[in-house]
């Protein structure tokens, strides 16, 4: 059983379970699935700076912080206790492209440690992958009013056309970055 769970789960299992989060949160307390709001609540709780955007009672939304706290613990369980012992299978074309861009670690796990490690924090890699990338995720999701969970999953589930606009924009931005910008940036930092 544990062997079975330790293997990577297929997309239809994962998709079904992630989709079921939508009714679970609604039935548990009429909560709309959305994760990027947690970043706003953290700002409102820690550094509101009298900005109107952060002047609200974040405690009323604190379920969201409990939820993301759980995601960290779930990440720990999934990444250690239920860790897949085998190396990640990466599509050959992606592997070849990333090799050409200077990525070397394809075997250690879910992330290439030649990018995602503390040793890179104060390097150009750290600036690009942690600081700039993270900033764009936080700024962009709030500007868009949601992320993959709030717009792509919750919004599309509720047949909201603004969420379709947002989802298409997410994907367009991702394609543009991956194909037009990131190759140049990676040649510079790797």
Partner 1 sequence: MISEQPRIQTKAPVRPKSANWKFSLVGIFFGIVFVKAEVISWFRIQEMFRLDSFHMYGVIGTAVLVGMISLQLIKRFNIKTVQGDPISVAPKQFSKGQIYGGLLFGFGWAITGACPGPLFAQIGAGYSVVAVTLLSAIAGTWVYGAIQRKLPH
Q: Which positions from 34 to 73 touch partner 1 by CB under 8 A, shown as an x/- string?
A: -xx-xxx-xx---x-x-x-xx--x-xx-xxx-xxxxxxxx
Number of residues interacting with partner 1: please give it, by CB under 8 A: 135
Q: Does 140 participate in binding partner 1 (rule CB under 8 A)? A: yes
Count other C-beta atoms under 10 Å from residue 109's C-beta: 14
Minimum distance from CB of 187 to partner 1 (Å)? 14
8 A C-beta contact, residue 34 and residue 111 = no
Distance of CA 2 to the CA centre of its chain: 26
User: Using CB under 8 A, which residues numbered 168 to 187 contact partner 1?
Assistant: 168-179, 181-182, 185
If DSSP codes are grouped into helix, strand and coil, which group holds residue 13?
helix
Minimum distance from CB of 189 to partner 1 (Å)? 11
Q: Does 125 participate in binding partner 1 (rule CB under 8 A)? A: no
Q: Does 189 participate in binding partner 1 (rule CB under 8 A)? A: no
Q: Does 1 participate in binding partner 1 (rule CB under 8 A)? A: no
């Amino acid at each position: 059983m544990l062997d079975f769970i330790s293997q990577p789960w297929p997309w239809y299992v994962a998709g079904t379970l992630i989709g079921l989060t939508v009714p679970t949160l609604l039935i548990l307390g009429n909560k709309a699935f959305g994760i990027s709001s947690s970043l706003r609540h953290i700002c409102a709780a820690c550094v509101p700076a009298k900005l109107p955007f952060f002047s609200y009672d974040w405690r009323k939304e604190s379920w969201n912080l409990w939820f993301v706290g759980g995601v960290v613990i779930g990440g720990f369980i999934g990444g250690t206790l239920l860790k897949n012992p085998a190396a990640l299978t990466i599509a050959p074309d992606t592997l070849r492209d990333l090799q050409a861009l200077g990525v070397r670690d394809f075997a250690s796990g879910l992330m290439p440690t030649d990018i995602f490690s503390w040793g890179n924090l104060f390097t150009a890699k750290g600036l690009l992958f942690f600081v700039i990338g993270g900033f764009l995720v936080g700024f962009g999701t709030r500007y868009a009013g949601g992320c993959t969970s709030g717009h792509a999953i919750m919004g599309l589930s509720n047949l909201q056309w603004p969420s379709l606009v947002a989802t298409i924009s997410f994907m367009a931005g991702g394609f543009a970055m991956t194909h037009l910008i990131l190759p140049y940036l990676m040649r510079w930092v790797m």
